[in-house]
């Protein structure tokens, strides 16, 4: 059964975003699948199968302010409100030392991971603040890289540390408007992007080694828990990770 609530998930065509958007849809959330390629979004919705809740695919480059404004205008015109934003869309880059990273790569990663998250949070906050009943929840996808970098990951790690600042500030600024904001920091969920981890990736000690991974469904379950809380409660930060990944300890 649909719960009547409206969720927006960015980067919903593949990976973590697809898994979370599908889980929300099956749990009764009317869910907006957002990404750059509408055909991929429609395939993700079709793969979810029949659901009581409604799914909508909207193509959007979240690094573009005008497209984000159009996205939220379409959602509000269709559903009337926004109850949840999962700020998930993100890009990375191969392991590279800072002096070999092209400036356009830096700008692209910052544009999607940070500016895109800001633009979507800005639009969601505005909608949640002005709707009746007021309020909603924003969940930012941080990453374990919000706490500890991988070698050669300056653009990605910098943006994920910045997401923590966005989360904390929104959690504070949202209080008068019943807007909760939290962050999920994910470690080694097995998506297409994470396949190289099973084969070998650079470690802090200079070696190349495979790492433990976990099923991406564990992330979806965690986000569902965060999303399902009443607005007087909030998971400010949650870390969900493959148990045996080399995160806790000395490198």
List, by residue number, the catalytic residues.
156
Alpha carbon of 62 to those of 92, 194, 243: distances in Å?
Answer: 15, 22, 32
51: tokens are 């659901």
Asked if residues 212 and 242 have their Cβ atoms less than 8 Å apart, the reply is: yes
| Pure H helices in the chain | 15-26, 38-48, 65-79, 103-110, 116-130, 154-173, 195-199, 217-228
CB atoms within 10 A of CB 78: 13
């Amino acid at each position: 059964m649909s719960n009547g609530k409206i969720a927006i998930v960015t980067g919903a065509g593949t990976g973590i975003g697809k898994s979370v958007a599908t889980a929300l849809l099956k749990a009764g959330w009317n869910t907006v699948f957002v990404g750059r390629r509408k055909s991929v979004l429609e395939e993700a919705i079709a793969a979810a199968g029949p659901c009581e809740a409604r799914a909508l695919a909207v193509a959007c480059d979240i690094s573009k302010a005008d497209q984000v404004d159009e996205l939220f205008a379409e959602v509000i015109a269709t559903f009337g409100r926004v109850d949840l934003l999962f700020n998930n869309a993100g890009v990375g880059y191969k392991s590279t030392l800072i002096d070999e990273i092209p400036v356009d790569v830096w700008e692209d990663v910052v544009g999607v991971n940070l500016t895109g998250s800001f633009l979507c949070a800005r639009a969601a906050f505005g909608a949640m603040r002005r709707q009746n009943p007021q309020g909603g929840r924003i969940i930012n996808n941080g990453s374990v890289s919000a706490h500890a970098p991988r070698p050669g990951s300056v653009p990605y790690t910098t943006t994920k540390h910045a997401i923590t600042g966005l989360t904390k500030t929104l959690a504070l600024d949202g209080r008068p408007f019943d807007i909760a904001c939290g962050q999920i920091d994910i470690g080694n969920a097995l998506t297409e992007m994470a396949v190289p981890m099973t084969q070998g990736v650079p470690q802090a000690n200079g070696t190349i080694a495979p790492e433990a991974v976990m099923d991406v469904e564990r992330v979806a379950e965690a986000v569902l828990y965060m999303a399902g809380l009443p607005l007087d409660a909030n998971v400010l930060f949650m870390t969900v990770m493959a148990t045996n990944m080399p995160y806790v300890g000395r490198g």
